[in-house]
Amino acid sequence: MSHPNAAAADIAGLRRRIAAIESGGGTAGEPLEDIGGWLPFGIPAVDGPLGGGLALGALHEASAKAPGTEGALTAFGLALAAQAAKAGRRPVLVVQQELAAFEAGGLYGPGLEEIGLPEGTLVLVRVRKVQDVLLVMEEALKCTGLSAVLGEVAAPLPEPLTATRRLSLAARAGGTLGLLLRQSRDPEPCAALTRWVIGHALSRPRDAYGGLGPACLSATLTRNRHGPPGQWTLALQGSAFSLAPPEGLRHEPGDPAPRDLRAPLSQPVARPPLHGPHRAAIVA
C-alpha cells in the first residue's frame, strides 16, 4: 500500500504535467516558461491577459470575422510578423494558398515596407493546397533562421486538431512565432495557444476637419490559455498597435474640435492671388 504523501505528490505531479500540456502545447513535463519569450503588443490592456504578449515558440490562429474582412486579418498578421522580424533581426516566411490570394488579393511591396517589412525581410511562398501550406509551415517553424512563419489559407484544414498540433510542436522546437490566418472561421478544436477573430473597425479622425486617421480593426481574443478572453478596437500605424480612441471622439461639422485631435492648419489652403482683386471682393 502506497504512502498517502507519495500519492499526493504523484497527483500534484500529474496536475503540473497536464497544466503544461494544456497551456503550452508541449510534451508532458515541459514548463510553460520554456516557450521562448513574448512578443508584446505594447498595450497593457492586451498584454495583461496574454501574460506579457504573444508567446514565441508557439502557434497562434486568427480568423476573418466575416467575408470582406480578409484585409484586416492580413494586416493584423503582417504587423505581428514585422514586430517579430524587428525584434529577432531575422526574415519572415509567408506561405499563402493561391485561393487565399484570389479571394483577398496579393501582397503589395510599398504596403509591406510601410508596415515594417522592407525588401529582403520577407520570403513569399505560394502553393495550391492547404496541405502544402501546412507542410511548408511545419518545416519552416523548425528553422531557427526565421523570426516568424505566417500561413494564410482560404479552405478548411484537414483534421485541424492534428494539423495545428504538429505546427505547435514545430514552433516550440524552433522557438519561432507561428501565425495561422484563416479566411473563414472554424469551430473545430485547435491546438493554437491563442485564437483571434479579426474584423474591420471605423477609423478615427486625424484632425479637427475629420480627416482619415490610422487604420483600425476589431480584435476578439476567443481563446487564451494564459488568461481570460477579451475584445479591443486597435489602431494600426506601421507595425505598431494602440488602442483606438472611443467612437464618441469623431468630429462632426460645426462641433468644436475635440482636445485629443490635432489642431487644424494654421495657414490658409491657398494664398490670395498676387495680381487682381481677391475673389471674395468680387463676390461681394
Per the domain annotation, does 175 fall within a domain?
Answer: yes
Name residue, grid cell 474640435. 257
Cell of residue 150, nine digits: 505566417
H/E/C letters for each residue in 32-43?
HHHHCCEECCCC
Q: Which residue has the higher pLDDT, 16 or 77?
A: 77
Q: What is the mean pLDDT of residues 243-268?
A: 55
Residue 213 confidence class, pLDDT cut points 50, 70, 90: confident
Predicted pLDDT of residue 123: 93
Tell me the backbone φ, ψ of residue 80, rounded to 5 degrees. Answer: -65, -40
Predicted pLDDT of residue 6: 52
| C-alpha 254 chain-centroid distance | 37
Residue 140 confidence class, pLDDT cut points 50, 70, 90: very high
DSSP state of 248: G
Per the domain annotation, does 217 fall within a domain?
Answer: no
Of 192, 123, 126, 196, nearest in space to 157 by CA: 192
Residue 153 reports pLDDT greater than 60: yes
Per the domain annotation, does 18 fall within a domain?
Answer: no
Of all residues in the chain, the percent with pLDDT exceeding 90 is 48
Per the domain annotation, does 280 fall within a domain?
Answer: no
Q: Which domain covers residue 160, as residue numbers?
A: 48-194
Of all residues in the chain, the percent with pLDDT exceeding 70 is 72
Per the domain annotation, does 43 fall within a domain?
Answer: no
Q: What is the mean pLDDT of residues 50-66?
A: 93
Per the domain annotation, does 219 fall within a domain?
Answer: no
Per the domain annotation, does 39 fall within a domain?
Answer: no
Angle at 140 (CA atoms; ends 136, 146), nearest 5 degrees: 145
Of 164, 139, 163, nearest in space to 149 by CA: 139
Predicted pLDDT of residue 167: 95
Predicted pLDDT of residue 20: 46
Predicted pLDDT of residue 84: 92
- For the stretch 81-132, pLDDT in tens is 999 998 888 999 999 999 888 877 788 888 888 888 988 899 999 999 999 9
Predicted pLDDT of residue 7: 58
Greatest Cα pair distance, the chain, in angstroms, is: 109
Distance CA 268, CA 200 (A): 34
Q: Are 138 and 172 in contact (CB under 8 A)?
A: no
Cα 156 to Cα 30, 75, 100, 109, 172, distances in angstroms: 31, 21, 12, 28, 24
Q: Which residue has the higher pLDDT, 26 or 36?
A: 36
Of 21, 55, 45, 96, nearest in space to 194 by CA: 55
Look up the pTM and report it: 0.74
Predicted pLDDT of residue 280: 47
Per the domain annotation, does 122 fall within a domain?
Answer: yes
Predicted pLDDT of residue 283: 46
Residue 164 reports pLDDT greater than 60: yes
Residue 30 reports pLDDT greater than 70: no
Helix (H, G, I), strand (E, B) or coil at 60: strand
| CB proximity list for 74: less than 8 A, separation 6 or greater | 104, 152, 181
Domain count, the chain: 1
H/E/C letters for each residue in 65-123?
CCCCCHHHHHHHHHHHHHHHHHHHCCCEEEEEEHHHHHHHCCCCHHHHHHCCCCCCCEE
Residue 27 confidence class, pLDDT cut points 50, 70, 90: very low
Cell of residue 169, nine digits: 510542436
Predicted pLDDT of residue 21: 47
For residue 86, give the CATH number of its domain.
3.40.50.300
Outline where the chain has alpha helix (H). 4-24, 44-50, 70-88, 98-104, 109-114, 130-141, 160-174, 279-283
